Chain A
Amino acid sequence: MARRAAWTHALYYLLMTLLAGFFLFPVVIMLVSSLKPDDALIMRHMSSGLAFVPTEVSLQNYRDVFDNVAFLKALRNSVLIVGSIVVIGLFVNSLIAYGLARFRFRGRGLLVSVVIALIIIPFESIAVPLLLIVNRFGWLDTLYVQAIPFIADAFSIFLFYQFFIQVPRDLEEAAVVDGASRFRIYWSVVLPLSRPIIATVTILLFLRHWGQLLWPVMVARSVEVRPLTVAMQQFFGQQPREWGQIMAFAAMITIPVLIVYLLFNRWFVQSIASSGVKG
């Protein structure tokens, strides 16, 4: 019996290792290719197992990226834009969701339905009208035009709303008895209980906007406000492609994503397990 359990265990681990390897393949190829200084070599290896082997190790591609692109400026811009969306978005969206979850007012149900309906509207369909609006405001070619339109987010409101309606009212009623204001209850009672959903929203917002390309392409012109995704497009033009630099750039913009995920991983998994969210 024990031997059978051990076999099952081993099989399970083997399967998991294979799956992990499968999902890690692109990341490994990216990292290994970024260390190969010869683009022709990268292309030759790409169709064989050598794509996973660092046959040559050099940081030349990374140096070339810094020489050819204002990488640090683009990184700073991306961090500022996405950081603003996440931090301000957490506050704004949770506050809206709290209001919808706790206040009783005429049209509340309709408002919730509208928020849910907004989730299904693809950004591409509103991009052009939004461009015309921000142009009238004189916001083009700024950092804030890349953040402000995304702070209020229907999906984040929905996630917070779903979470808040499950938070027991007893806790809040006790705070009311103690004389706490609504905002105080939201800030000091509800938010501390909401770490899993905060982590989930943080990761989802971060992932969505870290890789955002369409909107920055439409509104960011100068290198001063250009985020990483647009800066990377410098490598996608004339043939032949400089795959080594592309991989080095990709490696460097993937690292912040991994850091954010690892920071919030525990709560993210917890939230998915409890709410069934599929980002």
Chain B
Amino acid sequence: MERIRRLVLTLAALALAAGALAQTDVSVWFHSGKGPERDALAAQVEAFNGSQNTYRVVAEQLPEGTYNDQVQAAALSNDLPCLLDFDGPFIYNYAWSGFLRPIDAYVSDGLRADVLPSILDQGTYAGQLYSLGTFDSGLGLYANRRYLEAAGVRIPTGIDDAWTAEEFDDALARLTALPEVEYALDLKFNYGQGEWFTYGFSPILQSAGADLIDRDGYQNAEPLTSPEAIAAMERFQGWFENGWATNAPAGDVDFHERQIAALSWVGHWQYNPHAEALGEDLLILPLPDFGTGSKTGMGSWNWGITTSCDVPDGAWAFLEFLMQPDEILRMTDANGAVPARFSAIEMSELYGEGAPLELFAEQLNTIAVPRPQTPAYPVITDAFAEVIANIAGGADVATQLQQARQRIEQDIEDNRGYPTD
């Protein structure tokens, strides 16, 4: 009897070992963001590896500050992993450069229908889907109800009811006049010149009827110098000239801790500190309507399968695992971002119906504008961020926009229009 028991145990151990040996490795890179996000992804890798015997995810966390540089270097040396995550600004350039493979064939109709349109827009380049994110970002206005009421400013009730540009200017003037308020609008200039400026402030252009580039073919940046763009950016400059906003805030806490600003133009990531400091006085509002309706930004980290990957099915198996509603919530509970699927949003305590950040999910489903889906985006964002920094400092708006347009069009010309063939 004992002999048989040993034999069975030995055979079971051998079978397990054989199973482990038969597993195919799938290399995965991801940015090591803040602690909870990093821990959530590490737990997901472990859960995936424990859930099946076909693939084994071998994950490497790379520091976020130099993540894109490391990806670029790895692409140069043909050393990319099978699956990697990357921030929104880089996807189109990666797709155009041939680092990524389309994933349309893997995405079922059911999954596609359940994913936020912003996630699909972000992942689409030249008509093909190259990436999926498990979460998206929300951008809007946080407001201090106490100050709005003291200044007699109307409180918008939803996207269709957003402040008009004139109303917004009037609100900024009244709020700045309050004795507790040093300046009405915190635009997070402490984040510094970079992607924030484009992500945060290009919705002004788009709401005014302008844009960063002509999206029909992505061959010129004419909309950037249109009368609408100039007027919108002159209005933006006026906020600084009138003392309603500052381009040199002392820190990150003027709206919530110090409460010397009445409004904060920022993303979902500031919800927790704002809610802790303001409690019931915290309001979350859509960005103002500058002419063609309120608009907002979108996009965050997303996943793509590389062309050099020799086990794309394995890479997709892991990505599909990450896209399950429970796994999406595991991640968004950790990083506070907007869940990528409607079914996950429904279960979310932050973004579900009646939840405090419901507006952000609604915006992503209705008014969010994707980043220009062109490989020229890194140049576009760099040029526009410089425009924002300079006009906030008092530079001539039309001249700045013209210079940015020239730089963008020069880049497109240098790359022969970024042909897709």
Q: How far is the CA of A218 from the CA of B269 in the complex (A)?
A: 30
Contact assessment for A238 and B34 in the assembled complex, using a CB-CB cutoff below 8 Å: yes
Contact assessment for A43 and B69 in the assembled complex, using a CB-CB cutoff below 8 Å: no
* Inter-chain contacts of A132 with B (CB < 8 A): 76-77
Contact assessment for A40 and B191 in the assembled complex, using a CB-CB cutoff below 8 Å: no
Contact assessment for B60 and A221 in the assembled complex, using a CB-CB cutoff below 8 Å: yes
* Inter-chain contacts of A235 with B (CB < 8 A): 65
* Inter-chain contacts of A47 with B (CB < 8 A): 250-251
Q: For the complex formed, measure the closest distance between the CB of A158 and the CB atoms of chain B, giving whole angstroms.
A: 30
Q: How far is the CA of A268 from the CA of B78 in the complex (A)?
A: 43
On whether A233 and B64 interact (CB within 8 A), knowing A135-B79, A238-B34, A240-B252, the answer reads yes
Q: For the complex formed, measure the closest distance between the CB of B148 and the CB atoms of chain A, giving whole angstroms.
A: 24
Contact assessment for A231 and B63 in the assembled complex, using a CB-CB cutoff below 8 Å: yes
Contact assessment for B77 and A217 in the assembled complex, using a CB-CB cutoff below 8 Å: no
Of A226, A237, A240, which is within 8 A of B64 by CB?
A237
On whether A217 and B33 interact (CB within 8 A), knowing A40-B257, A43-B251, A230-B63, the answer reads no
Chain B interface size band reads 20 to 34
Contact assessment for A44 and B76 in the assembled complex, using a CB-CB cutoff below 8 Å: no
Chain B residue nearest in CB terms to A220: B70
Q: How far is the CA of A75 from the CA of B295 in the complex (A)?
A: 47
Is residue B177 within 8 Å, beta carbon to beta carbon, of the partner chain?
Answer: no
Chain A interface size band reads 20 to 34
Is residue A58 within 8 Å, beta carbon to beta carbon, of the partner chain?
Answer: no
Q: Which of B33, B78, B252, B270 has the most CB of A within 10 A?
A: B252
Q: How far is the CA of A180 from the CA of B254 in the complex (A)?
A: 74
Q: How far is the CA of A35 from the CA of B224 in the complex (A)?
A: 46
Q: How far is the CA of A219 from the CA of B79 in the complex (A)?
A: 10
Contact assessment for A131 and B70 in the assembled complex, using a CB-CB cutoff below 8 Å: no
Is residue A236 within 8 Å, beta carbon to beta carbon, of the partner chain?
Answer: yes
Is residue A68 within 8 Å, beta carbon to beta carbon, of the partner chain?
Answer: yes
Q: How far is the CA of A43 from the CA of B79 in the complex (A)?
A: 40
Chain A residue nearest in CB terms to B34: A238
Contact assessment for A217 and B73 in the assembled complex, using a CB-CB cutoff below 8 Å: yes
Contact assessment for B65 and A44 in the assembled complex, using a CB-CB cutoff below 8 Å: no
**CB<8 Å pairs between A and B, sample of 23:** A43-B190, A44-B258, A46-B251, A67-B35, A132-B76, A140-B77, A217-B66, A218-B70, A221-B29, A221-B60, A221-B62, A221-B70, A221-B74, A221-B79, A233-B63, A233-B66, A233-B67, A234-B32, A234-B64, A237-B64, A238-B269, A239-B252, A242-B34
Extra contacts besides A132-B77, A237-B63, A239-B269 (12): CB < 8 Å: A44-B250, A44-B258, A219-B73, A221-B74, A223-B60, A232-B63, A233-B66, A237-B65, A238-B64, A239-B252, A240-B269, A242-B34
10 tightest A-B CB contacts, nearest first: A237-B64, A233-B65, A236-B65, A43-B251, A233-B63, A218-B73, A135-B77, A234-B63, A233-B66, A47-B250
